[in-house]
Amino acid sequence: MLKQNLHTHTSYDHGKDTVEEMIQAALDQGFTTLGFSGHGTNKPLAPTSMSSENQLAYKQAIREAKEKYKDQIDLFMGIEQDSMAPFEDDELDYKIGSVHYMCKDGRVEPVDDNPKLFEQIRDEMYDGSIEKMVTAYYQSVEDMMDFQNFDIVGHIDLISKFNENEEYFGFEEPWYLEAAFHAIQKGIDQGLIFEMNTGAVARGNRKTAYPSDALLQYMADHNAMLVVDTDCHDRKYLDCLMDESIERARKAGFRHLMRLSKDGFVPEPIENFQKEARVLNPKRPAGTGLKRPYLR
Ligand SMILES: [Zn+2]
Ligand SMILES: [Zn+2]
Q: Print the domain residue range for 208.
A: 4-273
Could you tell me the pLDDT band of residue 292, with boundaries at 50, 70 and 90? very low
Could you tell me the pLDDT band of residue 247, with boundaries at 50, 70 and 90? very high
Contact 23, 34 (CB under 8 A): yes
- Looking only at the bridges linking them, the beta strands covering 256-261 and 264-269 are antiparallel
Residue 13, class by beta-carbon neighbours within 10 Å (0-12 exposed, 13-18 middle, 19+ buried)?
Answer: buried
14 Cα: distance to centroid of ligand 1 (angstroms): 11
Closest CA to 186 of 158, 217, 213, 156: 156
* Position 122, amino acid: R
Domain membership flag for residue 231: yes
289 Cα: distance to centroid of ligand 2 (angstroms): 34
Domain membership flag for residue 202: yes
Domain membership flag for residue 243: yes
Domain membership flag for residue 253: yes
pLDDT tens for 200-240 read: 999 899 999 999 999 999 999 999 999 999 999 999 999 99
**pLDDT score recorded for residue 105:** 94
Looking at all shown ligands, the one closest to residue 46's CA atom is: 1
294 Cα: distance to centroid of ligand 1 (angstroms): 35
Domain membership flag for residue 292: no
Contacts of residue 127, Cβ cutoff 8 Å, sequence gap at least 6: none
**Entry pTM:** 0.92
Domain membership flag for residue 287: no
Which CATH number covers residue 169?
Answer: 3.20.20.140
Domain membership flag for residue 291: no
Across residues 271-294, what is the average pLDDT?
Answer: 56
222 Cα: distance to centroid of ligand 2 (angstroms): 25
Q: Helical H runs in the chain?
A: 19-28, 52-68, 115-120, 130-147, 174-189, 199-202, 213-221, 242-252, 275-280
206 Cα: distance to centroid of ligand 2 (angstroms): 15
97 Cα: distance to centroid of ligand 2 (angstroms): 10
Looking at all shown ligands, the one closest to residue 199's CA atom is: 2
Please, what is the average pLDDT of the chain? Answer: 93
Helices 130-147 and 174-189 pack at an angle, to 10 degrees, of 0
Across residues 244-251, what is the average pLDDT?
Answer: 97
- In the predicted structure, residue 124 carries a pLDDT above the cut 80: yes
Q: DSSP labels for 192-254?
A: PEEEEE-HHHHTTS-SS-BS-HHHHHHHHHTT-EEEEE--BSSGGGTTTTHHHHHHHHHHHT-
Residues with CB under 5 A from ligand 1 (ion): 98
Could you tell me the pLDDT band of residue 48, with boundaries at 50, 70 and 90? very high
**pLDDT score recorded for residue 277:** 56
Across residues 137-149, what is the average pLDDT?
Answer: 98
Dihedrals φ, ψ of 145, to 5°? -65, -35
- The total number of structural domains in the chain stands at 1
39 Cα: distance to centroid of ligand 1 (angstroms): 8
Domain membership flag for residue 282: no
